[in-house]
Chain A
């Protein structure tokens, strides 16, 4: 989701005051949701042993790091955490000008036989996740792939669902959901805004 949905949220939310962006999750909401997701991942997989967390750049990587820290705090054992760029696997790669690649970092030990938990900020059409599944297939053969997202905003265009959801957020297609994280944007928040007036 990140590159398509969040070109430059900071600049846009400042320049378009009339769109009245609404904060739906604040910093403590996000923190609680991630803590719950961390516990759910551990519960479902019976511990941290088989897990590899892969964040989808940009903000999925920050979220994966945070979930990883929470798992480490609970289990006393860190899980391998990395990032997975899906740019070259996107189905719209031919329709847009060439895009810069994001960093892919597969943890040492690889993903063969592991449970890969993909982490992204917003689940929308599902196309990013489809691209990510293809990318994973070129890297190895995990035992299973699961999906954790901070926000599920609906409007799926592919048969894909999330295993762990921070918040289900019913939205209309004219709205834009933006996740702000301290690492990239200076503060933690999930903001919903009208696309009209924003140069989409």
Chain B
């Protein structure tokens, strides 16, 4: 693996390697010195064209704990607001010698373009692109579920909400099915993509039918910023049919857990009681996010599969 662009590119072995590595990275949080030397002298650029709190902070913490130098870039207050193109931004980063670029962009496919354009030599990690994918979120969700449920093989996982606009849902469906889980997505018909046949999952419009046979439920955020059409009649109706409240939660099997990628709309897709209940692993997901991102950064950036060619070209460009 050189880049992490899509959860669909990750094989089962690679996914397990990332999850096992994250397990080791997580134990670092209990140590007095939360620092490892693995990426000393490497530069990681957080290239964020879209607002984000937890993903950017999480990547920053992960890179710093691995001793990498971190440069944060956000579109606001940069030359992008003066009209600089993605290409020129990428060439600038290349000239500064970025070994890894963590990219969040509002357009689907932007990280793919960065990785395959030849503008950059470094590894590109997709931190969420448009409505396409968010692979590290899927990895941290799988990691959190694995810690609670054991192996995901044959586990039934239900993903509820705005699948149409959700990069989290797509990445999760791809990754969880790779790991052997049976995934069901539940959404109002208007919030499902037109053709779901290519997705390795089942679909349903009925949350109450899906809950009793779920080992884990993932509630997706209703993305108000993308709700420019009338996808459902009213927020209240959405909550009534697809929101997770205490009564619905009671239908879950005893061991089942509740996930949410955040940020939550309390009272909309998830009630406050559920979010704060013992089944909720939402805060843990954030902790695990740092471990997963450390694992991904370590596996992509620490070694050098093709040192000879990469090192020389980097030197030539930066010299």
A residues adjacent to B (C-beta < 8 A): 85, 88-89, 93-104, 106, 134, 138-140
Contact A85 B31 (CB under 8 A): no
- Closest partner residue, chain A, to B298 (CB atom): A98
Given the contacts A99-B303, A104-B27, A134 and B37 also touching, CB distance less than 8 Å: yes
Given the contacts A88-B38, A93-B38, A98 and B302 also touching, CB distance less than 8 Å: yes
In the assembled complex, which residues on chain B have CB atoms less than 8 Å from the CB atom of A96? 303-304
Q: Identify A139's interface contact among B33, B298, B300, CB under 8 A.
A: B33
Chain A CB within 8 A of B36 CB: yes
Contact B31 A101 (CB under 8 A): no
Given the contacts A89-B37, A139-B32, A94 and B302 also touching, CB distance less than 8 Å: yes
Chain A CB within 8 A of B283 CB: no
Q: Identify A101's interface contact among B21, B35, B301, B304, CB under 8 A.
A: B21
In the assembled complex, which residues on chain A have CB atoms less than 8 Å from the CB atom of B57? none
Contact A139 B303 (CB under 8 A): no
Given the contacts A89-B37, A138-B36, A100 and B31 also touching, CB distance less than 8 Å: no
Contact A101 B303 (CB under 8 A): no
In the assembled complex, which residues on chain B have CB atoms less than 8 Å from the CB atom of A101? 20-21, 24-25, 298
Given the contacts A100-B20, A139-B31, A88 and B36 also touching, CB distance less than 8 Å: yes
Q: How far is the CB of B104 from chain A (nearest CB, A)?
A: 23
In the assembled complex, which residues on chain B have CB atoms less than 8 Å from the CB atom of A134? 37
Contact B35 A94 (CB under 8 A): no
A98, A134, A138, A140: most-surrounded residue (chain B CB, <10 A): A98
In the assembled complex, which residues on chain B have CB atoms less than 8 Å from the CB atom of A100? 17, 20-21
In the assembled complex, which residues on chain B have CB atoms less than 8 Å from the CB atom of A95? 303-304, 307
Could you jot down 5 A-B contacts, CB within 8 Å?
A: A88-B37, A88-B298, A100-B21, A138-B31, A139-B31
- State in angstroms the CA–CA spacing of A98 and B20 once bound together: 14
Given the contacts A85-B24, A103-B24, A98 and B33 also touching, CB distance less than 8 Å: no
Chain A CB within 8 A of B154 CB: no
Q: How far is the CB of B126 from chain A (nearest CB, A)?
A: 18
- State in angstroms the CA–CA spacing of A85 and B20 once bound together: 14
In the assembled complex, which residues on chain A have CB atoms less than 8 Å from the CB atom of B27? 104
In the assembled complex, which residues on chain A have CB atoms less than 8 Å from the CB atom of B302? 88, 93-94, 98
- State in angstroms the CA–CA spacing of A94 and B285 once bound together: 30
In the assembled complex, which residues on chain B have CB atoms less than 8 Å from the CB atom of A106? 31
Q: Identify B300's interface contact among A85, A89, A98, A104, CB under 8 A.
A: A98
Q: How far is the CB of B195 from chain A (nearest CB, A)?
A: 37
Identify which of residues 286-319 in chain B touch chain A, using a CB-to-CB cut-off of 8 Å. Answer: 298-305, 307
- Closest partner residue, chain A, to B299 (CB atom): A98
Contact A97 B21 (CB under 8 A): no
